[in-house]
C-alpha cells in the first residue's frame, strides 16, 4: 500500500455528508483505511460502496454521547487500532436569536460539541498507543460569532477550546489535536437559504470569496484533514486552521 497515510486506521464521522465524504475519499486515496460513521445509513452505504475494499461503515446518532464514544470501540473491534479521528459530523440550526428554542440549542450543543468530546475522550488511550491525532471540525463562525446561529457558533467555539485543551494535555503522550475552521463550503449545509428578515448585507459579505463564487469545495477541506493527520504535520498541534479563502477577513 502506497501513500502518505498508508495503512492508517482513521475514524471519519459525518462520512455521508459533503466534507466527510470528501475527507474519507481523500484519506483512502492517500492509503488510509477510513472507518465511516454517520446517522444516514443509505448515504453511508453509498460512500462505502464507492470506496470498496473492506471499508467499514458504522451508523450512530451523534446526539447520543455514549453511541458517539462507542464508535472508537467499534473501530478497535474491527481493526484493533486507531491512528486518527476526524470529527466532521455536525448540524446547523438557524433562528433569530430571541426566538431560539432551548431544545434546538441543546441539540446543536449535543451533536456539534458533546459528541466530539465523547469521541475524543474514548480515543485517548488508543491514540496514545498509536501516537495518533485528532482533527475536529470547527467553523469560522467560532471566531467571530455568526448572526442567526448562536448555538452553532458557541458549539464550534467549544470545539476549538476542547481541541486545544487535548493538544496541551496530551502533547507529552504523543497525541496531536488540531481544529479546522471551514468558511462557506458547497454542501447541503453550506448552501442553506437565508432566513426571512435576515440582514442581506451580511449575507452578501459572507459570500464574497475571490474566484470561488462564494464557496469552497469539500475537497478543499478534505486536503486540510489529510495534511493534519499526516506526518507532514508532526509538529502541528493545538492549531486552528482556517480554510475559507479569506472569507473571515472581508
Ligand atoms: N458547509 C459549510 O459551509 C461548513 C462551514 C463550516 C463548518 N462546517 C462543518 O463541517 C462539518 C461537515 O459539514 P457539511 O457541510 O459536510 O454538512 P453535511 O450536512 O453535508 O454533512 C454533515 C453530516 O453529518 C451527519 N450528521 C448530522 N447529524 C448527525 C447525527 N446526529 N448523528 C450522526 N451523524 C450526523 C449528517 O448525516 C451528514 O452526513 C460540520 O461539522 C459543519 O458544521 C461546514
Number of domains in the chain: 1
Question: CATH number of the domain that 26 lies in?
Answer: 3.40.50.720
Single pTM value for the model? 0.95
Q: What is the pLDDT of residue 209?
A: 46
* DSSP H or E run through 240: strand 240-243
Ligand 1 atom closest to the Cα of residue 182 is: 6
137 three-state secondary structure:
strand
Distance 90 CA to ligand 1 centre (A): 4
2 falls within a domain: no
Distance between CA atoms of 29 and 14, rounded to whole angstroms?
18
Q: Which of the listed residues 17, 37, 162, 194 should we mutate to test ligand 1's pocket, taking the one with most ligand atoms within 8 A of CB?
A: 17
d(CA 48, CA 37): 10
Residue 192 domain flag: yes
The residue count of the chain comes to 250
Domain contains 179:
yes
Q: Does residue 1 lie in a domain region?
A: no
Listed in sequence order, the residues at least 6 apart from 241 whose beta carbon sits closer than 8 Å to its beta carbon are 178, 179, 180, 181, 224, 228
Q: Determine, yes or no, domain membership for 81.
A: yes
| pLDDT beneath 70: ranges in the chain | 1-2, 191-214
Q: How many angstroms is it from 111 CA to the middle of ligand 1?
A: 10
Q: Which domain holds residue 43?
A: 9-249
Instruction: Give domain status of residue 4, yes or no.
Output: no
Q: How many CA atoms lie within 13 A of 231 on its CB side?
A: 9
Answer yes or no: is 89 within a domain: yes
Nearest CA to ligand 1 atom 41: 90
Strand partners, 182: 243
Q: For ligand 1, which residues put their CB under 6 angstroms from it?
A: 14, 16-20, 38-40, 43, 60-63, 88-91, 111, 137, 139, 182, 184-185, 187-190
- 27 domain-assigned: yes
Q: Which residues are known catalytic residues?
A: 152
Identify the pLDDT of residue 145: 93
- How far apart, in whole angstroms, are the C-alpha atoms of residue 232 and residue 229? 8
Q: Is 84 helix (H, G, I), strand (E, B) or coil?
A: strand
Amino acid at each position: 500500500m502506497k501513500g502518505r497515510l498508508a495503512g492508517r486506521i482513521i475514524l471519519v464521522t459525518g462520512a455521508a455528508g459533503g466534507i466527510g465524504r470528501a475527507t474519507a475519499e481523500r484519506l483512502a486515496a492517500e492509503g488510509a483505511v477510513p472507518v465511516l460513521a454517520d446517522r444516514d445509513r443509505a448515504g453511508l452505504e453509498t460512500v462505502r460502496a464507492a470506496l470498496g475494499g473492506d471499508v467499514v461503515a458504522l451508523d450512530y446518532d451523534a446526539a447520543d454521547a455514549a453511541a458517539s464514544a462507542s464508535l472508537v470501540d467499534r473501530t478497535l473491534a474491527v481493526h484493533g487500532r486507531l491512528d486518527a479521528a476526524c470529527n466532521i459530523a455536525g448540524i446547523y440550526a438557524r433562528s433569530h436569536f430571541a426566538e431560539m428554542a432551548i431544545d434546538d440549542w441543546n441539540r446543536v450543543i449535543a451533536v456539534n460539541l458533546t459528541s466530539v468530546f465523547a469521541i475524543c475522550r474514548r480515543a485517548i488511550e488508543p491514540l496514545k498507543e498509536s501516537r495518533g491525532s485528532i482533527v475536529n471540525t470547527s467553523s469560522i463562525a467560532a471566531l467571530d460569532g455568526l448572526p442567526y446561529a448562536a448555538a452553532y457558533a458557541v458549539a464550534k467555539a467549544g470545539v476549538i477550546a476542547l481541541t486545544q485543551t487535548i493538544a496541551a494535555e496530551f502533547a507529552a503522550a504523543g497525541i496531536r489535536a488540531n481544529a479546522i475552521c471551514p468558511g462557506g463550503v458547497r454542501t447541503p449545509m453550506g448552501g442553506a437559504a437565508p432566513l426571512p428578515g435576515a440582514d442581506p448585507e451580511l449575507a452578501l459579505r459572507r459570500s464574497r470569496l475571490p474566484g470561488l463564487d462564494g464557496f469552497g469545495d469539500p475537497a478543499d477541506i478534505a486536503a486540510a484533514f489529510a495534511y493534519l493527520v499526516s506526518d507532514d504535520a508532526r509538529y502541528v498541534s493545538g492549531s486552528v486552521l482556517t480554510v475559507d479563502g479569506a472569507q473571515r477577513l472581508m
